[in-house]
Chain A
Amino acid sequence: MNKINNNFKFEFDKKIQQIEFKINSKIYPLTTIYQATYLFLDKVYVFLDGQPEKEIKAFFKLKEHVNKEQLENLVGQFYNELLNQVLREKISQANDKIREYIVSQALYSAVPSEVDELLKEVEDDWQKDPLGIAQPWQEKKQAAKKSKKSSKKVKSKK
């Protein structure tokens, strides 16, 4: 059994070059353990086991031989990374909805959907007012009078 200090406990099997961590999953949620271990994939092979509701066991099999100092650094980095991931997860959860809203507003609202285009067509047609619905009745009456007069003139010229 190796120790970095009283807080950080891990076991190292020198023969098979494997580190075993026991992680309290009530303090470090499973997602943060996944994220932290992922960052070590270039240095170690990872296997996770245990009981997700209580304790997770993480097995790191080293890809290359390391000395004592390198081993302690690796363990220290992993514990720090677990902590970083807890903060990242908290920030991420707190901002999840707002980020979704930003992306949807920024990207989707800029691209007209088929429905938007159909609505625009309807609006355009309405603005053209083919049936003259939007025209006030006074204007309509005057226009009708004018057209009667002009048709009389045309007839008289004939």
Chain B
Amino acid sequence: MLDLQTIKKLNDKQAGFFRFKKFENDNYLLTNDIGHYIFLPETDFKKYIHGRLDKKSKLYQKLKQKLFIKDEDYLKNFIWQYRQRNSFLKYGPSLHIVVVTLRCNHRCIYCHASAATCKDKKYDMDLKTAKLVVDTIFKSNNNAICIEFQGGEPLLNWPVVEFIINYAQEKNKLEKKNLIFRLVSNFTLLDQKKMNFLMTNEVNFCTSLDGDESTHNYNRIFTDGNSYKETVKWIKKINQAYKDKYKGKKKNYYRVGALITVTRKTLANYKQVIDTYIKLGFRNIYLRYLNPFGFALQAKEKIWYNPKEYIDFYKKAFDYILEKNYQGRHFYESMAATYLRKILNQEEPNNLDFRSPCGAVIGQLAYNYNGDVYTCDEGRMIARMGGDEMFKLGNIKKNSLEELINNDLCKSVCFASCVDGLPGFSENVYKPYLGICPVYNYSVHGNIFPAMKNNFRWQIDEAIVEYLFTKLQNRKNQDIFQEWVKKSKPPIPK
């Protein structure tokens, strides 16, 4: 057991900065600022902090390699790795979310975007605004640009989707950026002609699939037909088209990406949900929890859960996925893979919701149908809910990109999401892997700097990372997780 005498003998000449936590099996988990980790039994932990480890021992060498020991190369290596890990800070926004319409043909019970009805054509983006959006996007100093079509249902404003793709492609002949497109759609308005156009332009397809038919249709209400059947029909069709297109040319080609929003209904159905994904040929599932935006707040009693209920669900679902892997099936959970890339490879996967500082403004911008620009899509959702424009940066018709970015709001969200200085984070052993969302905090606590211990999202994120570390102590799992990390890296676009 740790005691004051042990602490007094800390050899601060040898031990570099680390955070730690004692696990139930008496192993100490140590992490450092780059994200390296190591488990040490108590005896080794004490030897390490007292500087009594044999310099020739394997353990000493391992600690040295992972930069827990201050030797002659410590500074040089630490600086280099720290710079690599945070290199995203040097670039401007890469993800550009374009809301081409607020209209939607679904009425999902949790709709975070508070979609408008199909008849409200006033919520469509016009071509003039679309052109300005593309012009603004290309002013970003980031060489990697992703234009993501969101809504509402973006296919309801197809002419603008088509225009943006054509205009951006044309513009890129001069700009020569690494340009990709992503369409987030329920697919129910897709047809062969649209699909061909999107595939020719290498647009990535993303959809919402909430699992098996009964869970999906319960969450995603569609009065014009069976949402599950329509979505699945197009998933199969697009995946087949990708397969035919890249047959013999590429191994790691795109497939349709799918998101699940976990509601109360999903909690007990986790096996059916995962089985559906596997049956449809998905290689991963993203067990995304609910966010307190849009209709999700109104349907609280019907769909919400408390952190403990979600964490229990996640652990059961995770174990079920792991069991599939033990049986030889390569299938992973996406949130876990994001964290594992940070833990095992000390990478920053640039998942903007789990980054510090988060992706708001400096990683992404959200362009509303009328040209209003928000810090992120969540910021736009807040405005849509009750007209609270706390996260509005300006409007492309009035403001330049520089004006949109170089302002106090951008600085505030960066400051609020930089976990280094936040109470509860700076000493937390999982700090190198966690991120927070100021918009989420504002929505729940009315404050972008809340007491994190009482935060629903923080409790869940911390529990997931802790569970991963529990599982990482098993050698067999380590090999599986390495495979997940490899598989979760996105394919090179062209």
Contacts and interface: CB of A to CB of B under 8 A. Distances in A.
A91 B15 contact: yes
B108 to A, nearest CB: 31
Contacts of A144: none
Interface string B1-41: 01110010010100111111010000000000100000000
B12 A38 contact: no
A83 B4 contact: yes
B127 interface: no
Contact of B7 (A87, A92, A107): A87
B463 to A, nearest CB: 12
Contacts of B454: 41-42
A100 B170 CA distance: 46
A42 B455 CA distance: 9
B82 A38 contact: no
Interface stretch (B83-91, B375-383, B395-403, B441-449): B83-91
A140 interface: no
Contacts of B424: 38-39
Nearest to A87: B7
A95 B83 contact: no
B218 interface: no
Contacts of A98: 16-17, 70, 75
A92 to B, nearest CB: 7
A95 B4 contact: no
A105 B86 CA distance: 12
B51 to A, nearest CB: 12
B78 interface: yes
A38 B458 CA distance: 14
Contacts of B19: 88
Nearest to B76: A105
Given A95-B12, A95-B16, A106-B83, A83 B453 contact: no
A111 B141 CA distance: 14
B17 A91 contact: yes
Contacts of A80: 2
A86 interface: yes
Contacts of B78: 102, 106
A93 B192 CA distance: 64
Contacts of A95: 12, 16-17
A83 B82 contact: no
Interface string A17-60: 00000000001000000010011111000000000000000000
A101 interface: yes
Nearest to B82: A106
Interface of B: 2-4, 7, 10, 12, 15-20, 22, 33, 49, 70, 75, 78-80, 82-83, 86, 89-90, 423-424, 427, 451, 453-454, 459
Interface of A: 27, 35, 38-42, 80, 83-88, 90-92, 94-95, 98-99, 101-103, 105-107, 110-111
14 contacts: A39-B424, A42-B454, A86-B7, A91-B10, A91-B17, A91-B18, A95-B16, A98-B70, A99-B17, A102-B79, A103-B82, A105-B79, A106-B79, A106-B80
